[in-house]
């Protein structure tokens, strides 16, 4: 894989690939991008590990969603609220069974012990 699926324009190896193999995300936006890429690559353990324990589901069952194809990510806004809290508004495009969909969400992130975690998100109707 050469270009990173998150749309950063960087190679996967120096972008989300680093985070998927254990590096800490430097910002909430970087974590958001890596989570988007992880959905596309089916990396359920990474998604669960980067989800805050207070809101983390037991499983995501990504294997059951094999028909989902992730098409692109657009970051609308990255807002640092303080040293430990941030939000990221994004639009993710995907296709299921040939039909296109958009997920427009504002996600909340928290930083604990130097690592960012996804907490939850508010889906925007578009």
State which fold the 12-123 domain adopts. Nuclear Transport Factor 2; Chain: A, (3.10.450)
| Tokens linked to 28 | 């909430």
What is residue 1's predicted lDDT score, i.e. its pLDDT? 60
**Global pTM exceeds 0.85:** yes
Q: Where in the chain are the domains?
A: 12-123
Nearest C-alpha neighbor of 75 from the set 36, 19, 119: 36
| Dist. CA 87–CA 78, nearest whole Å | 6
What is residue 126's predicted lDDT score, i.e. its pLDDT? 62
Average pLDDT of adjacent 10-residue blocks, the chain of 126 residues = 91 97 97 97 96 96 84 97 97 93 97 97 87
SS3 breakdown of the chain: % helix, strand, coil, rounded to 5?
A: 25, 40, 35
What is residue 52's predicted lDDT score, i.e. its pLDDT? 98
What is residue 45's predicted lDDT score, i.e. its pLDDT? 97
Please, is 37 exposed, middle or buried when counting C-beta atoms within 10 Å of its C-beta (0-12, 13-18, 19+)?
A: buried
């Amino acid at each position: 894989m050469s270009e990173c699926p998150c749309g950063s324009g960087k190679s996967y190896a120096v972008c989300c690939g680093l985070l998927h193999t254990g590096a800490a995300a430097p910002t909430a936006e970087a974590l958001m991008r890596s989570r988007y890429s992880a959905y596309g690559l089916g990396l359920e353990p990474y998604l669960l590990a980067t989800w805050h324990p207070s809101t983390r589901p037991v499983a995501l069952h990504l294997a059951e969603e094999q028909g989902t194809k992730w098409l692109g990510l657009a970051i609308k806004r990255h807002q640092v609220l303080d040293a430990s809290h941030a939000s990221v508004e994004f639009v993710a495009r995907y296709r299921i069974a040939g039909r296109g969909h958009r997920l427009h969400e504002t996600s909340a992130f928290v930083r604990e012990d130097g690592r960012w975690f996804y907490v939850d998100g508010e889906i925007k109707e578009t």
